[in-house]
Amino acid sequence: MIKKLGKIVGIYAVIYLLCSLVFVGLFHTPLFRSMEVLMYRGIVFILMTGILAAVMMFFCKRKWKSLFDFKDVILMFLGFCCVNMVLFTLVPVTVERSVSVFTLSYMEENPGAYTVEDMEKIFQEKYVCEFKAFDKRFTEQIVSGNVEETEEGYVLNERGKFTVNFFRAISSLFDTDERLIYPNENSVENTESSSEKTADK
């Protein structure tokens, strides 16, 4: 029984590792290079390699009928996609857009002591202006279909409003910092105004 279980686990592990290597390798190919959003390109690659993992498990099912059945094919696909989606969004996507990653990397490349004001200035000049960080993020929202262009400029559409409400629900559920999802209510002016009203009372 233990030997049989070990074989099953081993086959699952081999398929997962092989397809994960293919998944990582796809990022170094021209395939879907035109996709501007890393997240979307990664999702396509996860689905592709998830299907590959399911196909490999299907052939294992045919060879070892006593060990596997059709549910293993489905489980392989779902398990591979779920695990790699979590890892992909947690690590590569974070590295690609994280302010913390930029800050630490800059300090590593430019040894020395910095004040908070120094780093804020560097962040504005290099990350925001030189690297066009805002342009990149705004383009993502256009590609995602959350904003659309009109004669007057870009406006938030119905999908965008749904996305904002979804984010607010998640923020409320996990009690996260609400300043990013309610920027007007949490602006410096409003905070100071609230403090003054409290003082007057």
Give residue 2's pLDDT.
Answer: 82
Please say if the pLDDT value at position 87 is more than 80.
yes
Give residue 194's pLDDT.
Answer: 44
H or E element at residue 55: helix 38-63
Please say if the pLDDT value at position 195 is more than 50.
no
* Percent of the chain residues past pLDDT 70, beyond the cut: 92
Please say if the pLDDT value at position 60 is more than 90.
yes
Please say if the pLDDT value at position 180 is more than 60.
yes
Give residue 54's pLDDT.
Answer: 97
Give residue 184's pLDDT.
Answer: 87
Query: Are the beta carbons of 76 and 15 closer than 8 angstroms?
Result: yes
Q: At what angle do helices 133-144 and 158-174 cross, to 10 degrees?
A: 110
Query: Are the beta carbons of 126 and 109 closer than 8 angstroms?
Result: no
pTM score over 0.85: no
Cα distance between the two ends of the chain = 75
Burial class (CB in 10 A: 0-12, 13-18, 19+), 48: middle
pLDDT averaged over every residue in the chain: 90
Give residue 190's pLDDT.
Answer: 52
pLDDT (tens digit per residue) in 136-179: 899 999 999 999 999 999 999 999 999 999 999 999 999 998 88
Give residue 201's pLDDT.
Answer: 44
* Percent of the chain residues past pLDDT 90, beyond the cut: 76
